[in-house]
Structure formats: structure tokens, C-alpha cells
Amino acid sequence: MTACAIEPSAGHGDGDGAAPAGCTLSADGAYGARLASAGDAWFPERWTLDGPEPYAVPLPRNQPEEPGTEVQPMGDGRVLIHRRVAGRHAFSLLYPTGPGTGELPLGAVECPDDRARLRLLPPAPCGEKAYALAVGPRSTSVWLVAGGAFGPERVAELPGRGSGGVWLDRAGRLLALDRETGGRTKAVVVDLERGGEVSPLLQIAADSDDRLLLADHDSGLLIVRSDAPSPGQERLGWGVLGSTLPVRFPECLRLRDCSVTPFAIQPGQVLTPESCAVALRVDGPAGSWVGVWRPAERRVHHLPAPEGWLTGTGLWTADGVLRLPYATEAVPCGVARLRPPAPALPDPDTTPTPPAPGLTPSPTDGPALGTTDPPPGLAPSPTDRAPATTPPPPDSHSHPHPHPHPNPHPHPDLRPGLAPPHAAGGDTTTPFPAFPAPPLPERPGPPPAPSAARPVPLQEAPLGRLVTN
């Protein structure tokens, strides 16, 4: 057993702002895991999704699980389970053994206070390890709870209260967390192979809350949530890892009386982040349904969710099919396949897709500007430029970031310490960090080991280009 000096969270919430998903999928989408119910009893269930037909395998133990128990699939098909037992956080691996369920205990993390919070982070891209986040009022720890040599091991500790959790690379080395310090939340990068070294990632404005929600390894597309363009009101935005162009906050992602939570990005769109389809969970007065949005379009396609959808869960195929797991009495393990409308060419005469019941369309829905597309993790070249696109309508007031170098004469209305103003309409923009390319060897020899890209703090960007209007 490992002792964990987690301070009590003093009643603070996680701060992620999204309802939990109904199922957790492995990074490659081959497996899923959820806590299923049989009457009043709860038990882990593993879903196999990479075969011709999906199927579920129940993994019950001698007694039912407590509500709120966490489960997560590993890359080899075993299921990690996180239980709270007598003030300790216990971790085990479950696997089917003929008619029964085998269990491999991994160890426990002991917390001195019942109010301390520890939760599993999203599945690591490698599929061989699993991590947990322990949060206190003044510090946050990252624990390796599966895949280590000697049970749970603390691999990083950083000041402030952490939330979120997004993997930025395929090796599972760079973890983005949303860290709250001084009353503000900013996304930072934690390097797990350098003793938890922390670097800034998102600092759009000095007094804004900037969170990272999703990242795609192929295209470099990042989905963020920030109140920088509208102080006091969080908005969804998008940027490209390694690009010098600014973050944009599309108006079409603001749905009246609805909460919008992105949960999956289409993979395989190398160098074309503006073409990636993003799946959205939309919760409104009429219930929950699925939205699909692409950065190159200023519209959201609203699609009905399948009956029994494990809400907030799904994954894309590279050719643009959205797979949504669902469970009903007739079909206890199913996957619905949705193919949203293909990307439309910018056409001012195109009629927007009618919204789902209870929605009010944004007045600026329509085609959107593209963005630069440097390889993720590399600094853009001096010749980076935005691709040819149709100009935005007159009321969008959205302009790309023209140069990667600081402006010695920032706009007088964007002084340090002031939140950027809200644009009159359309997209608002903020600059995004660039990742430098790894250094070349000084003399001929064996090629060096690949080095992880390092983020550039956004506070080094010119304040005069945070938001244009």
C-alpha cells in the first residue's frame, strides 16, 4: 500500500464542467468499460469493439460494486477498477476466467482525509499504463496506478488544484492539465518523463480561465474552453498545436439554453485540422443529442442519438463515421454508426441545417475561415500562411494572426491586465502556442532519441493580437 498525502479538497468541485460519460473507451477504441446494473446491483462490464460485431463480457465479483466505482479498459482487454475501501483508493485489474472473473490487485493509495479526491485520468495512448489525479486545495499529484513495477507510484506533483486531463502525444509522456492558482485556471503541460516538469500551455489573457478539452495527435487540432473573448461566459474555441494563427471562438457553438461538450475528434486528417469532424454532446430542454461540427464550417449538424446511447461516449473512424455505443433491453451491447453530412463548400446561398427541438440557431452560422496546418509538435516555418478561403461575412470581424513575432506596438485597448473585448460577431481569435522543433546533432553520428515538443508560453505573444474586432 502507498501512502498519499492528499490534502482535503474543502468541498471544491473538479471544475471540468461536464457530466460524466456513460462508458470509457481505450485510446485505440478497441475496448470499452462501464459500470452496468442488474436491478440494484452494479458490476463492471467490458465491451469489445474492434471485431465484426460488438459484444459485452460481465466481470462481476463476489459482491456488487458501489455506485461511483471507476472502471477503465486497458490495451490488452483487462479492466482497471478503482474502488474506495475504508479510506483507501484500491486498484485492481479484472479479466474473464471461464465462468468467473479473475482479479489482480495492484495496490492502494491511502488518503488521510475522507474529503480528498482521487480519480482516474483518461486512458493513456499506449494502452499499457493508467494514471490517476489526486487533488488537494493547494497541490495536485499524478499517480501511475497500473503498468508500474512496484504498485502505485507518484510521478508528478504540482502546485495548485488540477482538473481535466488530455494527452498531447502518442507515447503518453505529455499530459495537459487545467490548473487553478490565484483564482484563475490555465492549462499546463506536465512532462511525466522529466519528473513532472510543468510548462504553460494556455494563457490567453491574464484574467481568463483557459481549459483544454480535446487534442488530436494527427492534425494537431485542439478544442479549448475559455472566457477570454466574453469575460464571465465560457466559450468553445479551436486552435492548432504548433501554429502561429490565433484561437477562434465560433459563434455557431453557442447554443441558447444548451450545454455543449465535445467528446471526440476525427483522426487521420494529417495537416488538415480544419477538416476534422468534432462530435458534440448537446444537453438541452429537449434532452441529449449529438452535434457534429468542423472548423471549416460555421454550422453545427444536429443528429438524433440512438436509443440507449451511453451518453457522451463515441469515437470516429478516419473516413468520418461516428460510432456511438448504446445499450437497450433488446440490444444490450450495440454500436450505432452515424455518417454526418459531408463538408460543404462555402456557399452564401446554403440553407443551414434546422436545429434540434429547443435550439436557436446562431445568426452567424455559415462558412468559416481555415487555418494553417503545420505538423503537430513542430514550429511553423516563416512561410506559414493561411490557406485560400472564402472571406468571412462582414459581421464576423475575424482576422488571422499575421506574424509570429511580438508586436512592439500593441493595440491601446488591450493593455496588460485587461480582458480582451468581445468581438461584434462571428469568430473571435486569440493566439495559440507554437512548439519548437527538436535540435539537430552538432556532429555526424547516430540519430538522437526523439525529444518531446515543448510548449511556448502564450503570455509571450503580443497582447495586441489577442482578439480582433
Choose between 221 and 381: higher pLDDT.
Answer: 221
Q: What is the pLDDT of residues 274-314, one digit of tens each?
A: 999 999 999 999 899 999 999 999 899 999 999 999 999 99
**Residues with Cβ < 8 Å from 408, sequence gap 6 or more?**
none
Cα–Cα dist 262/292, whole Å: 9
Give strand pairing partners of 107. 91
Q: What is the pLDDT of residues 158-167, one digit of tens each?
A: 999 999 999 9
pLDDT band of residue 377 (cuts 50, 70, 90) is very low
> Across residues 54-59, what is the average pLDDT?
97
> Across residues 341-345, what is the average pLDDT?
80
- Which of 360, 361, 358, 314 lies closest to 338, judged by CA? 314
pLDDT at residue 87, as a whole number: 81
Q: pLDDT exceeding 90 applies to what percent of the chain? A: 58
Q: What is the pLDDT of residues 30-53, one digit of tens each?
A: 999 999 998 889 999 999 999 899
Q: Phi/psi at 31 (nearest 5 deg)?
A: -130, 155
Q: Is the pLDDT of residue 395 over 50?
A: no
The set of cell numbers assigned to 319 is: 473516413
> Across residues 215-234, what is the average pLDDT?
95
> Across residues 7-26, what is the average pLDDT?
58
pLDDT at residue 362, as a whole number: 34
Handedness of CA 462, 466, 468, 469 (dihedral sign): negative
- Which of 254, 343, 255, 263 lies closest to 295, judged by CA? 343
Cell 519528473 belongs to 195
pLDDT at residue 440, as a whole number: 42
Cα–Cα dist 178/56, whole Å: 34
Q: Is the pLDDT of residue 384 over 50?
A: no
Choose between 113 and 142: higher pLDDT.
Answer: 142
- Write out the DSSP string of 201-265: ---SSTT--EEEEEE-TTT-EEEEEESSSSTTS-EEEEEETT-SSEEEE-GGG--TT-EEEEEEE
What residue ranges in 27-173 does DSSP mark as E strands?
A: 31-38, 41-48, 55-58, 70-73, 79-85, 88-97, 100-110, 117-120, 130-135, 139-146, 153-159, 161-167
pLDDT band of residue 18 (cuts 50, 70, 90) is low
Q: Is the pLDDT of residue 432 over 50?
A: no
pLDDT at residue 20, as a whole number: 67
CB burial of residue 438 (10 Å; 0-12, 13-18, 19+): middle
